[in-house]
Amino acid sequence: MAVINQDAHGGAAEQSRPIGVFDSGIGGLTVVSALRTLLPNESIFYLGDTARVPYGGKSAATVQRYSLEIAAMLLSENAKTVVVACNTASAVALSQLTATLPVTVTGVIQPGAQAAIAVTRNGHVGVIGTRATINSGAYERALRSLDPKVRVSARACPLLVPLIEEGWLQTAITDEIIMQYVSPLVNDGIDTLVLGCTHYPLLREAMARLLGDRITLVDSAQNCANAVRELLLRENLCAAGPDAGRLQVALTDQPDNFLRVAREALQLDVGDVQVRE
């Protein structure tokens, strides 16, 4: 639980502190976009580790070290809670972050698993994500802890992140690659597909068009935002007052083309991006 100090806990000063959000890069802006819509008067400090992206092909030990370093930077920005807006970091580093940080930590996997269990009709859930996320088995564990009888078909989709970063959100090549990855899961009988990477909500439209009504898409960004809202209410950490919250975006390297893609696709006003070492 988040206990900064007794006077501040739940007080106005603590409530006005920003929500700290991090991702390996800019994909976590999908979570920021969902948070801005759901919690417009919360301030957010977003940190994207663009100097070391992608995390998805790295070892668990490396992702854990990076995640602890990035989370420490969010604490120095006075974050009242930390949101791990990266499935890869949530899959392999969440328990370490939770055990180490003096504030509450929310990942994307548990909320995504809860939403999938709530919507599946036939009890067969598909999960797509980076290699590190899928190899960790974190989604299977989260889904089975909620429903031991659930059937899970999981697949790593390493080509999707580069396509998204290139801005190829609605192209014939992207459609074909999506179908190459997802068809085996559909043929297996899934009725629900978890977008287990914070980049993937940018392909939501393409996937909905390709998969139609028979597959329900579960967006980790939206469900993570819902979980943060519940946490803030539970911990009495909601920002007080009607003023719009501030969004600050910092990256560990110079912004590249993907920031433009994310800005346009998400219609998110990220203002001036800071660079932090």
Task: List residues binding ligand DGL (CB under 6 A).
Answer: 23-25, 27, 53-56, 86-88, 130, 133, 161, 197-199
Write down the least CB distance from residue 201 to ligand DGL, Å.
Answer: 10
Nearer to ligand DGL, 41 or 98 (CB): 98
Specify the residue, 163 or 197, whose C-beta has the smaller distance to ligand DGL: 197
Q: Would you call 86 a catalytic residue per the annotation?
A: yes
Which one of 157, 197, 224, 238 is the catalytic residue?
Answer: 197
CB of 88 to ligand DGL, least distance (A): 4
CB-nearer residue toward ligand DGL: 43 or 133: 133
Q: Which is nearer to ligand DGL, 2 or 35 (CB)?
A: 35
Active-site residue identified among 86, 157, 224, 238:
86
| For ligand DGL, the closer CB: 17 or 36 | 36
C-alpha to C-alpha distance for 87 and 106, rounded to whole angstroms: 11
Q: What's the closest the beta carbon of residue 272 comes to ligand DGL, in angstroms? A: 23
Judged by beta carbon, residue 4 or residue 268, the one nearer ligand DGL is 268
Q: How far is the CB of 56 from ligand DGL (least distance, A)?
A: 3
Minimum CB distance to ligand DGL, residue 161 (Å): 5
Q: How would you write the chain as a 3-class SS string?
A: CCCCCCCCCCCHHHHCCCEEEEECCCCCHHHHHHHHHHCCCCCEEEEECCCCCCCCCCCHHHHHHHHHHHHHHHHHCCCCEEEECCHHHHHHHHHHHHHHCCCEEECCHHHHHHHHHHHCCCCEEEEEECHHHHHHCHHHHHHHHHCCCCEEEEEECCCHHHHHHCCCCCCHHHHHHHHHHHHHHHHHCCCEEEEECCCHHHHHHHHHHHHHHHCEEEEHHHHHHHHHHHHHHHCCCCCCCCCCCCEEEEECCCCCHHHHHHHHHHCCCCCCEEECC
Backbone angles phi, psi at 142, to 5 degrees: -65, -45
Q: Are the CB atoms for 109 and 87 separated by under 8 Å?
A: yes
Give me the least distance between CB of 26 and ligand DGL, in Å please. Answer: 8
Q: Verify whether residue 157 is a known catalytic residue.
A: no
Query: Interior CA angle at 178 toward 107 and 22, to 5°?
Result: 25
Residues taking part in catalysis: 86, 197
